[in-house]
Structure 1
Amino acid sequence: MKFGWTADTAALHTRRMLNSLALASVMFAATPGNAGGISAVDVRGDQVTLRFDDSVDGASAFLLNEPRRIALDISGARIGANGFTGGGGAVSAVRQGQVSDETARVVLDLVTPAIVSNAQFAQDGKSLSFSLQGVSDSGFRAALGKGRARIDAPTAMMARAPRRMHSITVPIPAAARGLVLPAVAGPRDGARPLVVIDAGHGGHDPGAINRENGKREKDVTLAIAQAIRDQLLKSGRVRVALTRDDDRFLILQERYGIARKLNADLFISIHADSAENDEAHGATVYTLSETASDREAARLAARENKADIINGVNLGGQSGDVSSILIDLTQRESMNISAGFARLLQREAAPYVPFRSAYHRFASLMVLKAPDTPSVLFETGYISNVDDSAFLSSREGQDRIARGVARAIEVHFARKLVMREDRAGG
């Protein structure tokens, strides 16, 4: 069998040569005399241990692609003997380089895609151990986009004097000052119930993105929110307001804050989920609980609650008056009403929208924490799924979702009206 060079093969070979030359050039740079030298890199199956001849200050890990590698930058370390022992598993080779006077880098060349898991230093700071967790190609690409993962120094080393660090200033968007309330559409009769529809994400925050077709959650949610508004206005039974009617960014507190300031009777936040598993599909309704109903609910809350954080700065710090209200019994009643509406939404919208079998989940979602407004977060489907993405992005799909949601809202308020009349008659 003959093996020939292709353009891709040549490019890969060139990249590897450049990587080796770059790493070799820093290996001969001056290294600090008071840092922990790397004395050994021990790979045993999926377990890796880096050993140092003195304590180091901490580390960070990140992934590199083409070829796949794991890199570890170790603060307070210097390169040492390239003592790679073991092998035969996910690691084919280990290299070292001195990237600065204060930081040494260890690079693990991977045979199969893997990520760092359960990393920790020994208490004396003289060794770092971690596991190699095998992942799929898509899982590796997803982890690649997350950037560096910090591995904190051992507790016993925290009292050491910090090394001098350089700092830079990065401008970030300021938190919005003052809440501009949107227009309320529908009957001018103030007695009609008011529904606030929140299109998730927006502005610099695109939300989930389909890897194949580039569809963005922020665009899909806005189109669906507008379709729900238009469908509700046809009946003339309720008033409607959108938290955003264009591509703008709102912090989470502003979203439910709009509902509270307008004295909304119902708040619905529209989203489109994503998952590593491209087969995941179907709609889900979330209501507030401090305890997540399952891992997926906890994952969603962790992701969505980070929408206010830009460059590590939280733009939506919660005020004390809201915090005190959250423990009021009023929220318990709102949570019960929200859970009832979630069940109603699935029942009424199921003829129009495909739901997951476990359609109702509970999570500690910040956007649902208006204490006096019944609220749900409606994940209308998975933008990462081919069929769901096409459904959510189409006019027909958006209209079907709107009809289903409108039916549920009208039944919800009809029930409330009957209950009020029964109490008045009794």
Structure 2
Amino acid sequence: MKLDRVLTIVGAAGLRAIAQGPRIIERFALVVALLFVAFSSASFASQQPMLAFAARVAGDDARTRVVIDFESKPAFSVHYIGKPERIVVDLSATAFGFPAGDLAPRGLFKDIRYGTMGEDSARLVFTTSRPVKLVTAEVRQNEDRGFRLILDAEITSQPQFDAMLKTQDWGQSAAVPPQDIDPPVEDGVFVVAVDAGHGGIDAGASGATTKTPEKTVTLAFAKLLADKLNKIEGVKAFLTRDDDTYLSLSERVTVARQHHADLFISIHADTLPQKDIRGATVYTLSDKASDRMAENLAARENLSDQLAGYQVEDAKPEVADILLDLTRRETQAFSVALADNVVKSFDGQVGLINNPHRQANFQVLRAPDIPSALLEMGFLSNSDDEKLLLDENWRDKVASLLAEAVHRYHKRSVANGG
């Protein structure tokens, strides 16, 4: 009850007390005193803000996590604002007791602001570098002290962000719009992410004779492979990039996950100092490279983000929540099965390097929940390989063999209950 309403009621009661004599006035005065003490105490308690005592931000240009620790459990609501794209988090009265540097912008956020909005509310405003969506917005209890608010932001497309702006309910406490804005997947459909290596400012390698950039070769082949995969019943393929656009390594994996990919294939055509080495190679992920050549190739491919001016961060906030060892082992087993199918499909049909299935720590293969492989179709540093890589008929043949390998892998996975 507001103070002006209380005063109105007290005033009316006081007039009646005066009319009834001194003893009633005395009792009335005591009641009024107790009433104002209770009102003042309740009002003081309601204005006590909850304490946000710690904060941290970590992530990259595809996914960024914010964690804020509170003494008590916070109630919150989330809204999206456009032009520029922002995420707004509204809280009840909050005292921000952590150093400002702990909530410094990074990853997807180019600016983070926070503060009180009045006696009873506070607000956090995250200005993003591109359209984003929240895939996680929840409060969890800490083991030692208080609660933590977890916000996971992830890249999305401009049309999807615009759709969220139109459908959001500013009064709801849920942070994520109720509709599924990711592409729907039909039951029983096997989804393949075909990743054309490099793109945009990152041209990759270049041909020894023609100087053709790797990004052009990989995109042409990726489109051909996706077309062939889409002709297989029960298989749906999509491209992580369908034009000369730069995508960071993390973005490629995030796009695959947003499309609910069951398989990720990254296409490359690298160069080597040894001009005589030629043939296709299939790589799967391993913390320890199978050989020096694989280690050097992975190191060079992992520099893609830095070459394009992106800062690479090793921080993996709350990484134990998703990178479960069991999941990684199972995913790795499927990845190896895929690589074996590709090698068998190519054998005798496409030139292969010695030991054609190799392992290395490629960043683009690190998704713990999506079986992944990287195909080096050949080496642009070798003139014979270069001629083949630029030959449409040869690319068509290789794409057909690779599509057959994926189809065979899928059928065996289904038969084995995978």
Structure showing greater radius of gyration is: 2
2:231 corresponds, among 229, 234, 247, to: 234
2:387 aligns to what?
390
Q: Look up the match of 2:328.
A: 331
1:295 matches 2:292: yes
1:202 to partner: Cα distance: 0.2
Aligned runs of 1:262-277 on 2, under 5 Å? Answer: 262-277=259-274
Distance in structure 1 (CA, Å) of the matches to 2:190 and 2:222: 18
Q: Structure 1 residues 329, 238: closer, same or farther in 2, change over 3 A?
A: same
CA distance, structure 1, for counterparts of residue 317 and residue 184 of structure 2: 36
Aligned to 1:362: 359
TM-score for the superposition, normalised by structure 2:
0.55
Contact residue 309 and residue 315 of structure 1 kept, 8 A: yes
Deviations 1:330-378 (A, max 9, x none): 0111011101110111101334421112101111111001100000011
Name 1:279's counterpart in structure 2.
Answer: 276
Q: Which amino acid aligns with 2:416?
A: M
Counterpart residue identity of residue 283, structure 1: A
Please identify runs of 4+ aligned residues in structure 1 that moved more than 3 A: 174-178, 180-183, 186-190, 310-313, 315-319, 321-324
Query: What SS is found at the alignment partner of 1:221?
Result: helix
* Residue 410 of structure 1: aligned partner: 407
Correspondence for 1:200:
197
Distance 1:281 1:351 in 2: 15
Alpha carbons of 1:351 and 1:312: their partners in 2 closer, same or farther (altered >3 Å)? Answer: same
Q: Which amino acid aligns with 1:334?
A: T
Larger displacement relative to structure 2 (299-308 or 232-241):
232-241
Distance 1:301 1:284 in 2: 13
Distance 2:225 2:319 in 1: 29
Displacement of 1:212 after TM fit? 2.1
**Where does structure 1 lack aligned partners over 5 or more consecutive residues?**
1-173
How far residue 312 of structure 1 moved from its aligned partner, in angstroms, is 6.5
225-234 or 350-359, larger mean C-alpha shift: 350-359
The one-letter code of the counterpart of 1:329 is L
Letter in 2 for 1:216: P
How do 1:144-293 and structure 2 match up within 5 A?
A: 178=132, 179-180=155-156, 189-293=186-290
Report the identity percentage. 41
Label 1:341 to 1:212 Cα distance change in 2 as closer, same or farther (>3 A): same
Work out the CA distance in 2 between the residues paired with 1:262 and 1:187.
8
Distance in 2 between residues matched to 1:396 and 1:176, nearest whole Å? 39
1:336-355 → structure 2 map (5 Å cutoff): 336-355=333-352
Q: What TM-score, normalized by structure 1, do the two folds share? A: 0.54
* Displacement after TM superposition at 1:384 (Å): 1.0
Between stretches 322-331 and 353-362, larger displacement belongs to 322-331
Unaligned segments of structure 2, at least 5 residues: 1-127, 133-154, 161-182
Q: CA deviation at 1:390?
A: 1.2
Aligned-residue CA RMSD (Å): 2.6
- Matched residues in 2 for 1:319 and 1:187: separation? 28
SS in 2 for 1:381: coil
